Structure 1
Amino acid sequence: MIIVIDNYDSFTYNLVQYLGELGAELAVAANVKVYRNDKISLAEINELKPDGVVISPGPGRPEDAGISQALIKELGVSLPIFGV
């Protein structure tokens, strides 16, 4: 499963669509779940045991990034993270 962190940017669902298309091209089910940057915790992400995380563009200012910065700092060494 891939988690997409939505930083309240309109491009987020374009990313989700592309991930789905990539899964179809590879003949694997693309299990993608989207969470707003202020609606999920690091503990919840750990419980979900994702294969990777995509952090969407946005939010404009670092203080509005929600979980994104902590996610990179805490889980970046053990979890593949792709930021847009």
Structure 2
Amino acid sequence: WGTIPILGVCLGHQSIGQVFGGKVISAPTLMHGKTSEIRHNGIGLFQNLDNPFLATRYHSLVIDPDTVPPVLEVTAWVEDGTIMGIRHREYPTLQGVQFHPESILTNTLVAQTNAQNGDCSP
């Protein structure tokens, strides 16, 4: 994974968290087809995006914020502290997002910018 860009979306995001030592737990609130304001640190996938931006969520599980391993950094979150983005510190092209950038309810610029910043094709 050090040379190939990887973007985990939703379950893929959760899997990245778990593979590196985090714990996946039930979300504080079920989010099925709902939008949220996503806040971020402007790094990686989030370069050049509005802060916050609106994105669609479809999930009932999340990475437990208290178990994020040191090799991962939280790059995005929502108001209640739920993690919306992670990135590997040593392999920065290994990233995950809990929200769905491909959803029609997510700002289209988000999906396009994520593809460009992550050096991946949609």
Q: Bin the TM-score by the shorter chain.
A: 0.3 to 0.5
TM norm structure 1: 0.34
TM-score relative to the length of structure 2: 0.27
Which of structures 1 and 2 has the larger relative contact order (alpha carbons within 8 angstroms, sep 6+)? 1
**Higher radius of gyration, 1 or 2:** 2
Relative to total residues, which structure has the larger helix share, 1 or 2? Answer: 1
